[in-house]
């Protein structure tokens, strides 16, 4: 395992930005990100070239609530634009925190956050079966009215509470791949593809159009890592390691696993779709596509994880 000089794509879980039980104030998010920035800069000090991606669930959810509450005063924006807003606000906070941390350690402070688009296939089966809940909860009568007025697909997610559900298509490619590569090769720390990127379809002549969908952030992180030829794909989440039979008396943590073992565990149902499933699927895709190694770990153990002392290491064989 080569300890220095890798290009590493870091996928930050939501807890790196907003902790459970917090309201989501700017002050709370800044404080969380400042701690995360310290862990990321430690990786840069190890000699790695770093690209950061991140989740945006609570932030884009708040934007959608603001949309709904203010709709009688200002026009509500579609989901792709709300996603772009969340990329900007989270990217700004991470960018500033990383710059400040780099400066405090006497390091090159160049950091850029890039509003990133991700091409999806309009024929993806996900568009026929929306599953991803977004936005506020509604009572049944309001949900029925929104379905009729706006053509939204609404689903009852709790007794008497309904939410809009949107497609979650597979990411095909990162539109700004070449720009990200150029920045990384010039020594800039890049923040890209936040929240899974802004899903767009590509028409004749390369014309792009935003679509009302949500791309899974871990799968988009894998697509980003593959597109820029990253050596390592690191998913930093709220657990120290991957576990089999999580939450049961048979729970067993894994220090490492191969691609074939990961696929077998997925097939056996150890990694549910709503939690660890997309993360393990993403690292399997990354490694099968030619990536060198992948790590799933806690962000507070980031440096140890890349040094092989923490987290779950996933390898091709």
Nearest CA among 234, 226, 293, 235 for reference residue 259: 293
Active site residue 263: no
Name the catalytic one among 13, 15, 56, 194.
15
> In degrees, to the nearest 5, what angle opens at C-alpha 294 toward C-alphas 127 and 183?
80
Query: Residue 309 has what DSSP assignment?
Result: S
Per-residue b or e along 14-39, where b marks 16 or more CB atoms closer than 10 Å to that residue's CB: bbbbbeeeeeeeeeebeebbbebbbb
Alpha-carbon span 267 to 279, nearest angstrom: 14
Active site residue 14: yes
Active site residue 132: yes
Name the catalytic one among 132, 195, 196, 311.
132
- 3-state class (DSSP) for residue 162: strand
Name the catalytic one among 38, 55, 67, 217.
217
Q: Are 31 and 94 in contact (CB under 8 A)?
A: no
Name the catalytic one among 194, 221, 279, 311.
279
Catalytic (active-site) positions:
14-15, 132, 217, 279
């Amino acid at each position: 395992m080569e300890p220095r000089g890798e290009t590493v794509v870091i996928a930050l879980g939501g807890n790196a930005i907003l902790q459970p039980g917090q309201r989501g104030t700017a002050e709370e998010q800044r404080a969380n990100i400042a701690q995360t920035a310290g862990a990321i800069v430690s990786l840069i000090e190890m000699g790695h070239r770093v690209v950061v991606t991140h989740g945006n669930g609570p932030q884009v959810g708040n934007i959608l609530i603001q949309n709904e509450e203010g709709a009688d005063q200002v026009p509500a924006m579609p989901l792709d634009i709300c996603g772009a807003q969340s990329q900007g606000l989270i990217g700004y906070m991470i960018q500033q925190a990383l710059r400040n941390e780099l400066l405090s350690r006497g390091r090159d402070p160049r950091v850029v956050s890039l509003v990133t688009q991700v091409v999806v296939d309009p024929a993806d089966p996900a568009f026929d079966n929306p599953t991803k809940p977004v936005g506020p909860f509604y009572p049944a009568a309001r949900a029925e009215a929104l379905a009729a007025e706006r053509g939204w697909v609404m689903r009852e997610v709790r007794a008497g509470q309904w939410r809009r559900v949107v497609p979650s298509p597979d990411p095909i490619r990162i539109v700004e791949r070449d720009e990200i590569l150029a920045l990384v090769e010039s020594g800039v720390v890049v923040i890209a593809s936040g929240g899974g990127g802004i899903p767009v379809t590509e028409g004749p002549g390369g014309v792009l159009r935003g679509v009302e969908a949500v791309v899974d952030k871990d799968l988009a992180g894998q697509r980003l890592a593959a597109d820029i030829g990253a050596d390592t794909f690191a998913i930093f989440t709220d657990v120290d390691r991957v576990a089999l039979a999580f939450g049961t008396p048979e729970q067993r943590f894994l220090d490492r696993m191969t691609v074939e073992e990961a696929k077998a565990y997925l097939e056996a149902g150890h990694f549910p779709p709503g939690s660890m499933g997309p993360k393990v699927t993403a690292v399997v895709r990354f490694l099968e596509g030619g990536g060198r190694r992948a790590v799933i770990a806690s962000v507070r153990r980031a440096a140890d994880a890349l040094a092989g002392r923490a987290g779950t290491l996933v390898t091709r064989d």
